[in-house]
Structure 1
Amino acid sequence: MGQAFDNAGFQVWVTDVDANTLAACPTHWHRSEVDVSDEVQMAVLFEDISRVWGGLDAVCANAGIAGPTAKVEDVALKDWNTCLAITLGGAFLTAKYASPLMKQAGRGAIILTSSTAGQYGYPNRAPYAAAKWGVIGLMKTLAMELGPFGIRANAICPGAVEGPRMEGVLNREAKAKGMTRDEVYKGYASGTSLGAFVSAEDIANMAVFLAGEGAKMVSGQVIAVDGHTENPDPKV
């Protein structure tokens, strides 16, 4: 996502819990190793952004974890709490500390990453689905609360995104459902009208659009980038 913003002419500040991931980013980006569920670390991050940049035009809360793949009765409370703390709590803390910087400027764009799991029920994914539904509720509230200050809030709902993270999901679901990885993959893909997974670039391009002037009157919206998902897993 950072590269798409860079290509569009934005200055980029990227965060991650993985120092190796940050080290692989372009050297002209600002980089911070941050746990988005840790309020102290998030407060320091936005203090640094304010000190270096003096303000903030757009922020993307994109951090999240898949959480456990299990029947609800088999989900441990600690796993539930961890998934919500990162996936929903991280979005909340991002908005909490970004909004004062944007209020000072009288404008800004907050972009939260939800999921098609925030629009449909997902068997065996209770923590993740709950967190992603929560992200949409948070976004709707931010749009109403911050709109008078010229700040927009929107949520992107990716479908199944090609890459290592989705491969982990496919393999875990296959194990939980007694299916093969390919059967689960086909189930996801056949649930879209375009019959395919989306790419990380597809998501990034939507985020750049929502941050720009072309979306200056777009707020409070849930925007799916999912190849049109009607049934996310028809085999369930």
Structure 2
Amino acid sequence: MTDDVTKDRASGLRLPGLRGRRVVVTAGAGGIGLAIARVLYEQGARLAICDVSAEALRTASAELGDCLAMQADVSDDAQVSAFFDAVSAELGGLDALVNNAGIAGPTAKVEDITPEDWRRCVDICLTGQFLCARQAVPMIKAAGGGAMVNMGSAASKHGYVHRSPYSAAKFGVIGLTQSLAKELGPGNIRVNAVLPGIVEGPRMEGVIRDRAAAQGISYEEMEANYLRNISLRRMVSQQDVAMSVAFLISDAGATLSGQSLGVDGNIEAL
């Protein structure tokens, strides 16, 4: 399903409780993060986004009503702390966190993966979610409760050949999500994970290209292999993922916590 079709389907949808809600979206200046930020902005949320690209932040902020947009690498504790200090000053508090930042990591056999590449992937995809959560949670508690959505992956449920750092980190996201849901639930903070599948766009094209090269087959063969393992036989769109995140943050998801929602057309294997 294309983004245009999904947008048409969602254009009249108004999710309850999002207007005025203060939300942080990490890596919110491009890709899935920007799609999430757009949906939340259209629903009336007040946004703060971070990203590593200053140029992308300027463009995204202008599109999102000149929202707070700040450079920050989520794997860097000092940068994360500075960003949330700015969020507190600008928004006066926080109601929800979308832990979206992540990277694809290396595509290689385990013996060919460098420790540096392993650490970088895990630091961004998993440790970054912890660093943001530890800053966001006191602010959400002070607001009387709220929501957190952690970005997992279909690789949170399936082993992924030649993508061991990424899959290991994304399995960790589910553990983090379920642990925080139990810890924070009594304080009225809901914590869920969204697990996108094969998402249309440049990042997935790069993954397919690299994995095809690692296995010595063509791009077209590898793409066909991916689609063959999806029950619906199609990729999902960034907008599909964004609407699922918005639902979980909204009052429509008020009793959902500790869940891992697959937005993937039912991936049977990776």
**Aligned residue for 2:107?**
69
The answer for unaligned runs of 5 or more in structure 2 is 1-35
Contact 2:98 2:150 in 1 (8 A): yes
Q: Which of 17, 28, 47 is 2:52 aligned to?
A: 17
Aligned to 1:174: 212
1:49 aligned partner, one-letter code: V
Which of 229, 240, 259 in structure 2 is aligned with 1:221? 259
Please report how far the alpha carbon of residue 26 of structure 1 lies from its aligned counterpart in structure 2 after TM superposition.
3.8
1:33 equivalent to 2:68? Answer no
Q: CA RMSD in A?
A: 0.8
Q: 2:221 and 2:129 mapped to 1: Cα distance? A: 33
Q: Which structure 1 segments of 5+ residues have no match? A: none
Contact 2:68 2:90 in 1 (8 A): no
Distance in 2 of aligned mates of 1:38 and 1:209: 29
**Residue equivalent to 1:129:** 167
Partner of 1:144: 182
Give yes or no for the alignment of 1:85 onto 2:120.
Answer: no
Q: Which residue, 169, 180, 186 being the options, matches 2:224?
A: 186
Q: Give the TM-score taking structure 1 as reference length.
A: 0.96
Structure 2 CA distance for aligned equivalents of residues 24 and 181 of structure 1: 32
Report the Cα offset of residue 93 of structure 1. 0.9
C-alpha deviation, 1:161, in angstroms: 0.5
Partner amino acid, structure 1, of 2:56: T
Residue of structure 2 equivalent to 1:113: 151
Within 2, Cα distance between the matches of 1:23 and 1:106? 32
SS of residue in 2 equivalent to 1:12: strand
Report which stretch shifted further, 57-66 or 19-28. Answer: 19-28
Partner Cα distance (2:251, 2:116) in 1: 42
Residue 82 of structure 2 is matched in structure 1 by: 44
* 2-structure distance, mates of 1:23, 1:177: 39
Identical pairs, percent: 44
Using the alignment, how far apart are the partners of 1:45 and 1:148 within structure 2? 27
The more displaced of 21-30 and 65-74 is 21-30
Count, aligned residues: 232
Aligned to 2:39: 4
- Report the Cα offset of residue 9 of structure 1: 1.0
Pairing of 1:88-107 with structure 2 (within 5 A):
88-107=126-145
State which drifts further: 217-226 or 100-109.
100-109
Instruction: Describe the superposition over 1:125-168 as per-residue Cα deviations: whole angstroms up to 9, x where unpaired.
Output: 01000000011111111101111110010000000111111111
* Paired residue secondary structure (2:224): helix
One-letter code aligned to 1:65? I
Distance (whole Å) between structure 1 residues aligned to residue 131 and residue 256 of structure 2:
22
Query: Which 10-residue stretch deviates more, 11-20 or 124-133?
Result: 11-20
Compare 19-28 and 142-151 and name the one that shifted more. 19-28
Measure the CA separation in 2 of the matches of 1:200 and 1:29. Answer: 21
In structure 2, the residue corresponding to 1:214 is in which secondary structure?
helix
TM-score, reference length from structure 2: 0.84
> Displacement of 1:80 after TM fit?
0.3
Of stretches 52-61 and 171-180 in structure 1, the one that deviates more from structure 2 is 52-61
Residues 77-105 of structure 1 show CA distances to partners (whole Å, capped at 9, x for unaligned) of 11000000011011111111100001112
CA distance in 2, matches of 1:162, 1:111: 21
For the pair 1:205 / 2:247, whether they are aligned, the reply is: no
SS in 2 for 1:40: helix
Q: Distance in 1 between matches of 2:228 and 2:40?
A: 31
| Structure 1 runs, 4 residues or longer, greater than 3 Å off | none
Between 144-153 and 23-32, the greater mean CA deviation after superposition: 23-32
Q: 1:153 aligns with which of 159, 177, 191?
A: 191
